[in-house]
Amino acid sequence: MSFNFSDNNRLLCSVLISLILEKQILIMAFDRNTMLENCKKWCENTLMQTLEIEFIDAGEGYLKAQMPVNPRVHQPMGLLHGGASVALAESVGSAASLMFINPETHEVRGIEISANHVKSKRAGMVYGTAKIIHKGRMVHLWEIRITDENDMLISLCKITNIVLERTKK
């Protein structure tokens, strides 16, 4: 098979290659194991480690983490604290945006989060699954469903992340 490139096609290819090299655009296939390993590293010495949040699954357009429900995350009535649920949602939603950026050149910041708590939980495990709703160049919108072991909805959350260029130190 041979390709016959016109001058316009050669110019377009040249421009695309230049943009890729200049902007350090990542063009790679999604790697689940690498994503989960990176999430594990990012959690060290953070709130996620304190709350025992563990990232357990990832795929194109989603990321899932789990968090144990125990006295460490209870409010005074012995129930899962809404703030702990929001911490899980923000952790998984922010980390999920890292799938779409080059973390060497860009970083993610959560700029808005909302949560509706629909069911209480005293013990066991909760799971936060972030699914992409909108993936723009600079803004990502995620829905995070927090469920229990029986797939019952505990909280429904939404986070908006902004993608920023890293500043040189």
Q: What is the pLDDT of residues 98-156, one digit of tens each?
A: 989 998 899 999 999 999 999 999 999 999 999 999 999 999 999 999 999 999 999 99
Question: Can you tell me the mean pLDDT for 55-62?
Answer: 94
Residue 165 designated active-site: no
Residue 24 sits at the vertex; the CA angle it makes with 18 and 27, to the nearest 5 degrees, is: 95
Q: Is the pLDDT of residue 3 over 50?
A: no
Task: For 85, list phi and psi in degrees, rounded to 5.
Answer: -60, -40
Domains of the chain by start residue, with CATH: 31-165 (3.10.129.10)
pLDDT band per the 50, 70, 90 thresholds, residue 25: very low
Q: Is the pLDDT of residue 29 over 80?
A: no
Task: Dump strand ranges (E) for the chain.
Answer: 54-59, 62-69, 106-117, 124-135, 139-148, 153-165
Q: Is the pLDDT of residue 27 over 50?
A: no
Give the separation between CA 108 and CA 19, rounded to whole angstroms.
22
Average pLDDT over residues 46-62: 95
Q: In this structure, how many other beta carbons lie within 10 angstroms of the beta carbon of residue 131?
A: 15
The catalytic position among 90, 107, 143, 149 is 90
Rounded percentage of the chain residues whose pLDDT exceeds 70: 82
- Please indicate whether residue 19 or residue 32 has the higher confidence score (pLDDT): 32
Instruction: Supply the pLDDT for residue 9.
Output: 55
- pLDDT value at residue 153: 98
Is the confidence at residue 13, as pLDDT, over 50?
Answer: no
Predicted pLDDT of residue 123 = 98
- Quote the pLDDT of residue 168: 76
pLDDT of residue 4: 52
Q: How do beta strands 124-135 and 62-69 pair?
A: antiparallel
Average pLDDT across the chain, whole number: 87
**pLDDT, tens digit (0-9, with 9 covering 90-100), for 81-98:** 999 999 999 999 999 999
